Chain A
Amino acid sequence: MSGIGTGYDLSATTYSPDGKIFQTEYAQKAVDNSSTVLGLRCKDGVVLACEKLVLSKLLVEGSNRRIHNIDRHVGVAVAGLAPDGRMVANRAWDEAASYKRVYGEPIPGHVLCERVGSYAHMFNLYWSLRPYGATVLMAVYDKNGPALYAIDPSGSSLRYFGTAVGKGRQAAKNEIEKLKLSEMTCREAVIEAVKILHKVHDEDGKKFELEVSWICDETNKQHQRVPPELLTEAERQAKAALEDSDMDD
């Protein structure tokens, strides 16, 4: 690791000779080393899914939340350093609440994502602060329809049909590209998302939990975790699909 950016990587205010800011790159690395998080934007809403490695048998099931509600019509999933992601999510909540107080209506997705992006970017400008080591996948359903945004440690915020971050992102993105998202409903997409997470999970034998949320017409355009029955059904289908492909091998 030492030697990559020697001398140019000590502060977020130093460029390297080839035009990189190493602190931001290292923050990206923190995200890339975390467990996979993916988002799918379908025809009637958005699905967010997190793979959570169970760090210890002593952890209460369902703790270590990585998906947060920001407002009724916005939810975020966090990849990377969980506490950093929590700070970004809190800032998103502040922005959404203050917009509603001033303008009297729920914050539009593109406005919120720009504000969170500017906020994350600010931490790349000063030597006294370090960039947030978290990418935030934001699912929004506002007047303009459903949208999925990703805000990364550098502050860039991009809008996606489907994307994945974390360890298994390359394999997950390959799978996502095979899906016809614009024709899928969220209910179907939940099942596909769980299938993908099971497929790209490292076969360490380590137990992992899933945290899946959706925001769609079915939930009345409110962001919430998927009902437990749908999640169990999706897991069952995912495990069956894995066994099928194992048998094919």
Chain B
Amino acid sequence: MLPRPTTHSKALGPGVAGPELAVATSAVLDRPPQPGAHLPLSGAQPCAVDPATLADPRQHTKYPYVTGTSVMAIKYKDGVLVGCDTLGAYGSTKRYKNTQRIYHVNSKCVVAAGGEISDFQYITNLLDELTTDDYRTDDGIELTPQEVHSYLCRVMYNRRNKFDPLWNSLVVGGVQEGKPFLGMIGMIGTHYTDSHVTTGFANQLARPLFRERQQDDMSEEEALKLMYDALRVCYYRDKVSINKFQIAKVTKDGGVSISEPFALDMRWDYKLFAQPTKWAVGAW
């Protein structure tokens, strides 16, 4: 067992045991020779366990590692549009630029996620098991988007109750009994359905656009234009995003189609971008 290092920084305050106390005591000098004393500390067993976790064997998700950023979705006349970029970021590094964050569940439903990509892969495995079960019973009945939404909400909430959440914000989009359906589920089980849903940065950036311009009876052209504008805004202002998007379209008659990744034209020649701090208070 390696001793757990603690901080002996004198900056903590008076009375802290400083480095002067790190002398070999009789406990160290008088003890019998340790069997591995001549061996280097590297070369430990390949699966050495951090002793801290042995104290508390429960594993909790504490932070996400590879993350996706915002997802935005709107209803329109024929169905729903779900859009997001294709980045899996590792902190600030734009590491995986080819991740598809939209999952095709069945002919009526898609699920898109922001947050921890590995947790989303676990969720898509669960959904795949459910849809294969539907395929197996072969009675023409498929999971509806509302059922998928309720199911995922229970999954997220139960994980939250175990203090081991799936670190995702999920968007469920589809067509339910001929009518468009959009729902969102947060990582603690918060959920709602609405005419437009957003996760992550899109909450702040795209939602105002949707509130202003989204109508349930929009044409597909208007809806696409609105979606492009929303994606553009999120790329302009979200540091961890890339100019490579996918839009999924679910319609009453057409089923599900997830577009190939595409880029939007961006303008970086706005004068204020050139000298962003020119008129800022306190800038020189």
- Enumerate chain B residues within 8 angstroms of A70, measured Cβ to Cβ: 136
Asked whether, in the complex, the Cβ of B129 is within 8 Å of the Cβ of A69, the reply is: no
CA distance A70 to B132 in the complex (A): 9
Asked whether, in the complex, the Cβ of B129 is within 8 Å of the Cβ of A97, the reply is: yes
CA distance A225 to B135 in the complex (A): 12
Chain B: CB-nearest residue to A67? B138
- Enumerate chain A residues within 8 angstroms of B136, measured Cβ to Cβ: 68-71, 93
- Enumerate chain B residues within 8 angstroms of A20, measured Cβ to Cβ: none
Enumerate A46-77 residues with CB–CB distance to B below 8 Å.
Answer: 65, 68-72
CA distance A16 to B284 in the complex (A): 104
Interface size on B, residues (CB 8 A): 6
Chain B: CB-nearest residue to A225? B138
Give the interface size bracket for A toward B.
10 to 19
- Enumerate chain A residues within 8 angstroms of B135, measured Cβ to Cβ: 69, 72, 222
- Enumerate chain B residues within 8 angstroms of A93, measured Cβ to Cβ: 136
CA distance A101 to B137 in the complex (A): 19
- Enumerate chain A residues within 8 angstroms of B138, measured Cβ to Cβ: 65, 68-69, 224-225
1/0 per residue, CB under 8 A from B, across A61-102: the answer is: 000010011111000000000000000000001000100010
User: In angstroms, how far is the closest chain A Cβ from the Cβ of B248?
Assistant: 20
Enumerate B137-174 residues with CB–CB distance to A below 8 Å.
Answer: 137-138
User: In angstroms, how far is the closest chain A Cβ from the Cβ of B257?
Assistant: 16
User: In angstroms, how far is the closest chain B Cβ from the Cβ of A20?
Assistant: 37
- Enumerate chain B residues within 8 angstroms of A65, measured Cβ to Cβ: 138
- Enumerate chain B residues within 8 angstroms of A225, measured Cβ to Cβ: 138
1/0 per residue, CB under 8 A from A, across B115-147: the answer is: 000000000000001001001111000000000
Chain A: CB-nearest residue to B137? A69
User: In angstroms, how far is the closest chain B Cβ from the Cβ of A138?
Assistant: 14
Chain B: CB-nearest residue to A74? B136
- Enumerate chain B residues within 8 angstroms of A222, measured Cβ to Cβ: 135
* Chain A CB within 10 Å, residue with most, of B129, B135, B136: B136
- Enumerate chain B residues within 8 angstroms of A71, measured Cβ to Cβ: 132, 136
1/0 per residue, CB under 8 A from B, across A197-231: the answer is: 00000000000000000000000001011000000
CA distance A45 to B200 in the complex (A): 46
User: What would 11 more interface pairs be, CB under 8 Å, given A71-B132, A72-B132?
Assistant: A68-B136, A69-B135, A69-B137, A69-B138, A70-B136, A71-B136, A93-B136, A97-B132, A101-B129, A224-B138, A225-B138
3 nearest interchain CB pairs?
A: A69-B136, A69-B138, A69-B135
